[in-house]
Structure 1
């Protein structure tokens, strides 16, 4: 399904998610509202709350209260974006100045903490202990992911398995939790919950792997950030891991020199990109993303075929062709 048809099919749900976000965000501290609004309404895709809504509907749950629950996953996501941008010293987020460049590191981190707390409050308000268990465990995993990512900056010995552990905690765990909690609200049994979690995990891995490809191969005007940001920050992602695995001494030395160059230029990034492409790093990364999509679709196949399942399948396939 092309992007326009997919967005049309999701339009009503996305509108209701936006309304739910606007309804529950207010703090008694105006400054918190200002910073929260800046990150929450900067053009995010709302994929995580959307997954909660659709996974609940997949099992026949149509209670409108699901939209209120779903936004906690957008709060958690926004909190990590605020924290990540401070840690990375990012200049831009979604085509605008990163929040810490407007309000400073301390205030931005504290607002991120508020969003974490607000998400947990929503989970408590639902009065469902299983939802609360999943959400709190996920916040632990996400915190670990942020730390692991920091520890692995410039770690050119990072393996594919170690990389997967980082992106599972950083990205996939939240999507998996969003899917599982939709199922919990719909009264899913243990096996259904496992399959929904598996679906979200593989979808999240595919999403992050595609993000890492877009950092090298995307278009800045579409991704909302400068190309090569991860490379300039010394982040070792899958295209580079795959390239280093097969690189000869000359290519390896040159790639490492470009990665560690404190005066990185657009020209040096383009050179690194050409080496990675020649060594098959991008193609192998794309194939890995495709395998994750197939695994996500396999998990969905355990559920009866219906319009919601088909919509989730279309959304999953779109991950591979998205440009932002």
Structure 2
């Protein structure tokens, strides 16, 4: 079966391509290389022995999307990762986020709705919950006002998919990730931010290896045990495997509703300082960090209730925070050597 993975050379996308190929799927990757590198194809090949079909393309170009679907008419499913994803950047450049994250989604769905049946997995986010009122967060938690344009694009994206499902043959699963971290255990692929990292763990590893002088911890006055923000950090390999399980659910017509939603996390919240301490333990490196003011768009706490994914998908995380941090450090050392 041929599966399209948009943003397939990005962090989560590349790990999902590996898991799909390991399960025997034929994969077509779409990526515009805005925040990724074509060299990731080599890493995927080194792990799986197969190189996915690669189409360099900007999904904001409607004509290119139409041409792609004319060329690839035997598609069994689409996993849609392609999106800008940094909370802080979205606050400073909202129009980039609305254009990139929403237009590309609409153009893909416009093509999928012409197919007799279509399966669509959407890369969503726990940011759709805003600052949830109760922890851990269930899929039934009320959707709060988004704290950032990034979070808002995920909320709107989900609404677009739900509205489209009502009048088309598209079946979808919305996967709401918490905080993906880590790298493939082979250290062939991992998180490769271009420029200054927007996420905690690559900033930690770049600081530890000497690329960054110092790590900034945004805020120490949150109402949490140590005053720093709490997140649910999930190993990217666990996350990638969930996409394959969700895709098989659609392909095997096991879905109960046209659109289903699942949280993907560990179910445990860790503070920024706890992540730093865990990294220092697994790496043996002392991190240079400083406490600074809060960052606009950040929430206090978010960690998942994963009961639904555990029971319905039969999926649960296998890897720990320490596993993820150790793999991220191994990856950082490899790419800087």
Between Structure 1 and Structure 2, which shows a larger proportion of strand residues? 2
In which range does the TM-score fall when normalised by the shorter chain?
Answer: 0.3 to 0.5
Between Structure 1 and Structure 2, which shows a larger proportion of helix residues? 1
TM-score of the pair, normalised by structure 1: 0.35
TM-score of the pair, normalised by structure 2: 0.34
